Chains A and B, each alone.
Chain A
């Protein structure tokens, strides 16, 4: 019935509106029901209802219908926001999400009747249940009384004023190829069963399309509470004549007038402001009204573009070489100068092109951040904590691949902060802190990186406790613990199998957390650090690359080949005389600034012939707490490289994380620095130890 594309558009809108409701319900809970917030939720629910009805998703339609009814009462001040209401709303939201999964095939068999019942009882509980809100919302226009209607004989006609929300539904329906008609229906004066007639007309019209509004409201109509006629707004793909014939097929219909609804264009804010009280608020809040300025593109296409640009870059580098050759061979000839100019311009354009395509792959970090307030709220509820969760920099853009990876570690850190960081309200009051803990999540660009910080004003971490814990867990011997510095102790929280929580809760998991957090972040060439002050709070700082496709790397040679070390794992580079190498058992080490650094030879790891020339070049790699020096033939320098995978056929090759193409067209391999450190590195603490021992 609907194409995949239409469903995709619908789902995207659904997602967006669910998010909007989510955000606003959070606001509702925190700040009470301001008219804007209530209106936003009402509109979002209404939009979902409209499009779901068109698409034929009944469960979503009826669920959002209930939400809408509820907010209509709130809007009119007939009901107050209560804690129970907010909880029920969250339940309804969860149900909505499940229903959405049902559409995408990720779930099924969702039963919404319980939630709908709860929503209804909320409405009933407020004592303002009657009269019920119209299914299509709107501000309950007074039902036209009989004596206001045109005198008998003439056709029933009504001047319909469309609310914002209805207009929106109409507009969307038009985009989907539906036409909206205003249908004025006159009923015989002598009609005895007005309710039944109205019901039949509704039934009939609903076979042809969807009724999104009626005046008077549907409930009144079905009770027979109307004058000589009524008006409905119908979305349909049938033409006006067919609609007319359909209605006339019902007995006791005296007149039918079908008029297509002409919407006011979006460029009339003045008229709009005069028309509705809420219009002012919405003038800048409805981007959907503007002409379409975006298109949806498959990520695969962007990846292909990226590859093509990569080819261009390489060809351009080659062209550069020819330019040099020409210059040296023919001097400052006119033609040569032309080529130089072309080559330079080409370089600029390809550079810009690369950057633009990169940007096109970026998404605002809001994609992850927007899901978090709800999670924090639920957690806080569960743990009996009060939390002010502030998010800054939602608009900061990240490569979509980075966004996918960052969500898990962030959730973990947040959970920790709520569970272990922020104290219960009573304790906070006792400590002279505000009742509600403050949690600030912030994203920003710093140089060529994205920095995400998460700070809380909770307990902070006590190095002494960690020290104690590390000994208990057998991570350190008492002697080691006594000797370790504060920073070293704190960084133990990243050690596998460490958890500072005195009790294992179902919130923060089972102490497998922080090492995995660090791992996930480092996998995308990011880093995570933290500072903490006991009693004052903790701040985690996550640094991420803007994109996964391009990294800065240290290029080295070994034998005939060039290898790249991702710069995020390179601590420093050193050179030694062969005589400086010492042997500890079977391992080679050097002493650097009083510390013993274990060495591995890349030639040995990769079974390649080395061409050492006297001095040894060493790349010092670090990951987590571990360090290792890798001996290579020669250091070339830093360079930005485009990461390419080795392809599915080769799969994971030990010691390598990918490949890149050099300026001369050759392929250079990227060293999996993290794996090398993991396998051959030695922990900092241990380095200290060996120095002491």
Chain B
């Protein structure tokens, strides 16, 4: 059943020409990006809220969250619904490609900055064949300290 302890399964997706992965244990489902209601007054990286089968779920624009600017919408745009610390939230990505299995040995600690993304959001990087997959730390992405939130809000104003 499980090949070697600690094997990691990643949901791999594209965002701004880069390939990222998140731990599949955090991922609840992947849905099409539609029907997002924008929230006035929320931080810029908050895309809005969606109706996920009767629940109202916040969705973030992952590109903005990572400080990569905006990304365009296309046929392939998806929302990855994740569960972090008991809360459910979504993140908009350019397209989901596959589920990868990795051994922890394949993962290297992240350099201070990869492709413009701060190491604070990263779990590491992995070289899979020819590709570099950037492993995101979902808990960090959805962790908002009070200070940060305030800073975001004041930047808005």
Contacts and interface: CB of A to CB of B under 8 A. Distances in A.
B41 A653 contact: yes
Given A646-B58, A647-B87, A666 B53 contact: no
Nearest to B48: A667
B71 to A, nearest CB: 21
A646 B54 contact: no
Interface stretch (B12-20, B32-40, B100-108): B32-40
B58 A606 contact: no
Contact of A654 (B41, B57, B89): B41
B42 A650 contact: yes
B53 A311 contact: yes
B39 A653 contact: yes
A605 interface: yes
A307 B57 CA distance: 13
B37 A561 contact: yes
B149 interface: yes
Contact of A311 (B49, B54, B57): B54
Interface string B96-133: 00000000000000000000000000000000000000
B145 to A, nearest CB: 12
- Residue of A607, A653, A665, A666 ringed by the most chain B CB atoms within 10 A: A653
B39 A669 contact: yes
B155 interface: no
Nearest to A306: B54
B34 to A, nearest CB: 10
Contacts of B46: 650
A661 interface: yes
B40 A659 contact: no
A314 B53 CA distance: 9
A511 interface: no
B51 interface: yes
- Residue of A307, A314, A648, A655 ringed by the most chain B CB atoms within 10 A: A648
Interface residues of B, number: 24
Q: How large is the interface on A (under 10, 10 to 19, 20 to 34, 35 or more residues)?
A: 20 to 34
- Residue of B40, B53, B88 ringed by the most chain A CB atoms within 10 A: B40
A144 interface: no
Given A307-B54, A659-B56, A661-B51, A649 B38 contact: no
Contacts of A667: 35, 37, 48-51, 56
A468 interface: no
Interface string B1-28: 0000000000000000000000000000
Contact of A650 (B39, B50, B53): B39
B144 interface: yes
A608 interface: yes
Interface in A642-693: 644-651, 653-656, 659-661, 665-669
A668 B37 contact: yes
A653 B149 CA distance: 11
B147 interface: no
Contact of A653 (B35, B42, B53, B142): B42
Given A647-B89, A649-B87, A651-B149, A669 B37 contact: yes
Contacts of A645: 56
B40 A665 contact: no
Contacts of A646: 39, 49, 56, 58
Contact of A649 (B37, B40, B55, B144): B144
Interface of B: 35, 37-42, 46, 48-51, 53-58, 87-89, 142, 144, 149
9 contacts: A561-B38, A608-B38, A645-B56, A648-B87, A649-B58, A660-B56, A665-B51, A666-B35, A667-B37
Interface of A: 307-308, 310-311, 314, 561, 605-608, 644-651, 653-656, 659-661, 665-669
List the 10 closest A-B pairs by CB distance, nearest first.
A606-B40, A311-B54, A667-B37, A644-B56, A310-B54, A659-B56, A654-B41, A661-B51, A650-B58, A667-B49
